[in-house]
Structure 1
Amino acid sequence: MQLDTYISDLLYRYDCVTVPDFGAFLTQRISAKVHETTNAFYPPKKVLSFNEQIQNNDGLLANYIAEVEKIPFESAIKKVAKHVKAIKGYLIQGETVSYDNIGDLMLNTEGNIVFEPSYSINYLTDAFGLSQFTSGDIKREVYKEEAEAIEEVAPIAITPERRRRKPYLQYAAVGLLMLTLGGFGASQYYNNQIETHNQMAQEAANEELDTKVQEATFVINNPLPAVTLTVEKQSGRFHVVAGAFRVKANSDKKVKQLQDRGYKARIIGMNRYGLHEVVYSSYETRTEAQQALRKIRREHNPDAWLLVKALQ
């Protein structure tokens, strides 16, 4: 069951989504802000947090699951309880549980749940379409001083006295206008002749091309057989992690090295720190993943670890 998807859907509409007998995911709205040093503008958003003390079943999550999956409410409660039991088992064994678009859950040394929220999505619907941007400094006074200096050196003004002293400029303007109109008419006629010529030439070329295509048409009597390729698609939410890299090229290089050694290596995406995660392989069950992890630690990489993450 994709519990993280249901929780994510509800966080858009509610400020508290409780997972019975486990804890509650809370959202708190913060206003838009401007960074004084970088001049960066940040839109309003909802900040995610987790409270382990809130565990009472308010029916919100189970009711939504029952509505989406078309199952009875009691069945939805049992599915949530089963999922919570599995999560607690992973946490006790020191594993990190990742929820897409929500965050990561882990246990600290005192046995309490620590939550690292994800910043990849904004659950505030009022801020839909808004993103962070940076504004440069506005230098109004500098441009104003430059404009004033240009006006002092080269003022632009046409007074009535100047127009009366030079009446021949009016006749020159009228003559220039007549020449422009005459030249435009001649140019338009010339362009129309060129367009007509080009259209006739294009039609002749199309007819010749159609004739050549018809002459060159042939039928293949013995076509080659179709080739069908079967590509194995990896699935599962249990992943044996080989490493995480900031540079994408380094991740591709690591995948190539592991594939040359016979592993079904691939990149499963980026984590909340912006690192590309490379895994040896993915498995459907936790038992298969742990067996593979023990073998990889013994034969190849003692620092390999197990990640529980549902991929979309």
Structure 2
Amino acid sequence: MTLANYINDLLYRYDCVIVPNFGGFVTNTIGARVNTTTHTFYPPKKQLTFNAYLQHNDGLLANYIASTKNISFEEATSFISEEVARWNEELKSASVEVASVGSLSLNEANQVVFEPNPTSNFLTSSYGLEEVSTPSVTRVKEVSIKPLPVVSEEKNSTIPLYIKRAAAAAVFVGVAYVGWNGIQNQQQKELLADQKEAVEKKIQSATFVIDNPLPTINLNVTKEAKNFHIIAGAFQEVTNAENKLAELKQLGYDATIVGKNNFGLTQVAFASYTTKEDARKALETIKESVSEDAWLLAK
């Protein structure tokens, strides 16, 4: 797979994918819309833009490539650097196609211009939804409706006497049934209320007595918070983070897992410090002797 394919995959899961030392692809969800001129309905989608100032390596892309290709984080970072160098060389003479994401080119000021692919929709909730065009709807002319003929009272008065008596009897039976049903419901409510009151009285009458309570011990413990962490890497898979943690501990570092970042990656730290000054000194030593990609996180 090329670097463009890895970017394409991540855009379905994350709102921002940064290519180190090149730029970031940022998505913004927009709702469904309709074009009243062409009578076309468009489903919700992720609007894609490119920001050339987002070049910091947040570890998302490199970690995804490392886990997919089953290589180390450093090898994945080198792979990205080689692809970025090839892109920069191609942009001098032609545009670069980034899978189904879009195309990149240079303008007269040698600035990267991004043209998103209009047929791609990275919003997974809109999967399978397409643009729909319908013909315009014309109004239906009003239709006059003739009123029904009025039946005179004289015709209604010809109802037989036995039908009137049967109707009156049915009404009486219905009223009697409703009244009896209401009496039964009221009796059930009163029974439930009595049972509830009896249970509450039993609960109130129950007491719990401790003859010999234990003495109270007050412990005043102060712990200095270590809010400055030297990050060794960020991993999508928790097992990879745990392996990195074990590796650092074998090297003698007081390594810890400091939680997940905004992209859902588990971050592993060489060590954590209470002051920023101590953390900066340790960071300089680690960059010189262990890893140039280590960086300081204040949390």
TM-score by length of 1: 0.45
Higher helix share: 1
TM-score by length of 2: 0.47
